[in-house]
A and B are shown apart, each in its own frame.
Chain A
Amino acid sequence: MSEDSIDDLIETLNSIRQEEFPEIPKELLEEIVRIERETIDDRELTQDRISNVIESHLSE
């Protein structure tokens, strides 16, 4: 899946975010989508990486 092709996914999520969850930063969503795109079948690794991103966001 190419870099350009996830723009659609992010755009879809972002439009919902803007309307319903503006308190969630767009960058956080982008980061989660990128992590999901990069990992295929390793759920544990994916969840670890997402958890780290969330923790870092919460600690800001």
Chain B
Amino acid sequence: MLQFNKIELEDFGPYKGRQSIEFPDQDGVTIVFGENMRGKTTLLNAIRYALFGKILGRGFREISPERFINWETKAEGKYSFSVTLYFEESGSEYELVRQFVPKDSVAIPNEDGDYTEEVYLIRDDSVTGPKERENELNRILPQQVSRFFLFDGELLQQYEELLVDESEMGQRIREAIERILGVPVLKNGRADLRSLLDEAQGQEQKAAQMSNQTNELGTLLEGATEKRNHLQSDFIDLSQELSDLQEQKSAKRNQLQQLEAARSLVERQEDLEGQLSDVEDQLEYKRDKLRDMMQESWRSVIQDTLQERLDVLEERRRELDKKRTRISVAKRLASRISDGLEKNECPICEQHLDEEAEDHLEQELRSFQGLTEEDTDPVDDYDLILQSINVLQNLAESNPAERIKSTLSEINELKAQRAVVNDEIGEIENSLESSKEERVTQLNTEYENIIGKISERERTIEDTESELIKTKENIQKLQSQLDQISGNQLEEERNRRELYDKLVELFDRGVDEYRDRLRQRVEQDASDIFIQLTTEPEYKHLQINENYGLTIIHEDGSEIRVRSAGAEHVVALALMGALQNNAPLKGPIIMDSPFGRLDESHVRNVVEALPRLADQVMLLVYKDEIDPETARELLKGKLRREYTLDRVTARHTNLKEGGMIQ
């Protein structure tokens, strides 16, 4: 069992100078009380850094260690930090030192590349070599299972994924769970025995080829085995590629989720750029139109003169119209009077004309004849005026001034639209400056490419698997034919191969059976812990699925399908405790602010149950999560040590042994 003895930090994050936390020898809980921004998460990261050389931020993003050099120390000209973890495991004592220092060639480091990491692992007073160190650390606490030892509220939320069958995250957590439970020992054993079985088959085939009787079968078997080996190797490579791609996909998705806000801004920006392009097109069209109109714009200069002339001509036309009417009437009257005088009768009443009436009509006739001779050529004049009016009206109607004015107004409106769109694009560009819009676009492209590759690999894997099954069936057929024939050398090889065959089958079944047993135990232990943690008396137990996901079962036997965030949290903690109980690999649990989603009653239950989760538990909390007095009362003798994070400056925290005073 892994047990922490002490962690020592030097200039790591806000911990200026050399500071340490000593873990008590006895089983129980250590609590570190600290307000927000004092360095609770940094303590969790210090342990993570010592063990795995990684520092994680929100969303499990890796953070450059350079950012964790104490700011004040850096300002004083010291550019390094170190973390030393003292622990024991299987009877050996270890001292693990990991320090982040500037490279020898660099006087004043400016970027990550200017630093180097130095790691030492001392086991029982002997310094281990790099390879041995790596193997030892991987054996003692593999990084893949670190989630069960070092966690916070954010990590606890991920356990909900175990209830989603096809979830990639759930798949990864399931693998980590199986790893902590020791399943890989059996899986690796099965894989190693399979490889050795392949070799034994090869030896048997060679032995068969030595005899005339079995030569042909041996050769066929050798060919089939070679084909199977190729297919198996392809299958393993492809599966590994698929797994890598799925991991890449998951990583890209995480990055994309982090940049989700930025991505939606980029989408908006793309939309705005489309709008801008439309506005520009319209502007260009209007400007072309305006250019054409401007070529005719001289007309607007003569518009007033044109109108004046038109008015004169219209006046003249009206006068001529009147005159023409007058002449026409005079002509008709003159003609009738002339006829009447000829016949000596009145042109209206047709009575005989006396002398006086005859004189009067002759006078009238002369007057009308005078009118008809007034304008000798009115028709020609009238037509000329009409033509002129027509021409001038055409010129006046095609006056571009109004159209130019209207087009200019449209152009101005488009310009205003363009300015609004440009403003919004500018704002988005500013917002995106830190999130790098090219990165979002690039990530999207990469994500799509990965998805394409995944479906391609899945198809190839399916084909390879089906071909592999056929080849294995063929090998089995040939093998059973060969088994009918005996021979000394062949007999020996056959015995070896048969033993491997049986061992493979035994381990194969062992994996399934061990998993089933583990699931039953995890379900039982998680249920026990859950009942202790939950405040709902009608919840009876938890039910485990194939992925180690846990469902709450009501006392009436039904599943609680929708559960609160707090309930999820409690279920995740119950799973943690159950895994610790059943894992061959046991160690301390470090929990950073894990009560965010829990109400007071649940917090009390969880605190009370902490000693059940692991032998060594370190809780990093702020006093609003659990006040020191309550923690002492609930944990009683199991609260072994208390530390407080004391603020010196915004960039300097001191670790002080002893609890917070209420």
Residues of A near any B CB (own CB < 8 A): 1-2, 5-6, 8-9, 12-13, 15-17, 20-21, 23-24, 29, 32-33, 36-37, 40-41, 43, 46-47, 50-51, 54, 57-58
Contact = CB atoms under 8 A, between A and B. Distances in A.
A58 B189 CA distance: 19
Contact of B182 (A1, A32, A51): A1
B585 interface: yes
Chief secondary structure at chain B's binding surface: helix
Contact of B196 (A13, A21, A47): A47
Contacts of A23: 502
B182 to A, nearest CB: 6
A32 B584 contact: no
A32 B188 contact: no
Contacts of B517: 8, 12
B507 interface: yes
Contacts of B257: none
B506 A9 contact: no
A17 B506 contact: yes
A15 B509 CA distance: 11
A40 B510 contact: no
Contacts of A13: 186, 506-507, 510
Contact of B502 (A6, A8, A21, A51): A21
Interface string B505-526: 1110110011001000000000
Contacts of B188: 36, 43, 46
Nearest to B138: A40
Given A36-B189, A50-B193, A16 B510 contact: yes
Contacts of A24: 499, 502-503, 506
Contact of B192 (A1, A8, A17, A46): A46
B388 to A, nearest CB: 105
B1 to A, nearest CB: 6
A15 B584 CA distance: 20
Contacts of A47: 192, 195-196
Nearest to B184: A36
B197 to A, nearest CB: 10
19 contacts: A1-B139, A1-B185, A1-B585, A2-B1, A2-B586, A8-B182, A8-B517, A13-B186, A21-B506, A33-B186, A37-B185, A41-B135, A41-B138, A43-B192, A43-B195, A47-B195, A47-B196, A54-B496, A58-B496
B186 A16 contact: no
Contacts of A33: 185-186, 189
Most chain A C-beta atoms within 10 Å of own C-beta, residue among B185, B193, B503: B185
A50 B496 CA distance: 13
Nearest to A1: B584
A54 B182 contact: no
Interface in B559-588: 583-586
Contacts of B193: 32, 50
A9 B500 contact: no
A20 B496 contact: no
A12 B517 CA distance: 9
Contacts of B138: 40-41
A29 B265 CA distance: 60
B185 A6 contact: yes
Contacts of A6: 182, 185, 584
B90 interface: yes
Contacts of A20: 505-506, 509
Contacts of B505: 20-21
B466 interface: no
B134 to A, nearest CB: 9
Interface in B73-111: 90
B213 to A, nearest CB: 24
Contacts of B584: 1-2, 5-6, 8
B198 to A, nearest CB: 11
B495 interface: yes
B500 A54 contact: yes
A20 B97 CA distance: 50
A32 B394 CA distance: 107
Given A9-B186, A36-B189, A29 B506 contact: yes
A8 B514 contact: yes
B585 to A, nearest CB: 6
Contacts of A15: 513
Contacts of A36: 185-186, 188-189, 192
A36 B507 CA distance: 12
Instruction: Please provide the 10 A-B residue pairs with the shortest distance between their CB atoms, ordered closest to farther.
Output: A5-B584, A1-B584, A13-B510, A12-B514, A36-B189, A36-B185, A47-B192, A21-B502, A16-B509, A12-B513
Most chain A C-beta atoms within 10 Å of own C-beta, residue among B193, B505, B586: B193
Most chain B C-beta atoms within 10 Å of own C-beta, residue among A13, A15, A29, A41: A13
A54 B196 contact: yes
Nearest to B583: A5
Nearest to A20: B506
B196 A32 contact: no
A2 B195 CA distance: 27
A20 B507 CA distance: 12
Contacts of A40: 135, 138-139
Most chain B C-beta atoms within 10 Å of own C-beta, residue among A2, A12, A40, A51: A12
A46 B135 CA distance: 14
Contacts of B509: 16, 20
B180 to A, nearest CB: 10
Nearest to B517: A12
Contacts of B191: 43
Given A41-B135, A47-B196, 20 more contacts: A1-B139, A5-B182, A5-B584, A8-B514, A8-B584, A12-B513, A12-B517, A20-B505, A29-B506, A32-B189, A33-B186, A36-B189, A36-B192, A37-B185, A40-B138, A43-B188, A47-B192, A47-B195, A50-B192, A51-B196
A20 B188 CA distance: 21
A30 to B, nearest CB: 12
A16 B1 CA distance: 29
A1 B582 CA distance: 12
Interface in B1-31: 1
A54 B499 contact: yes
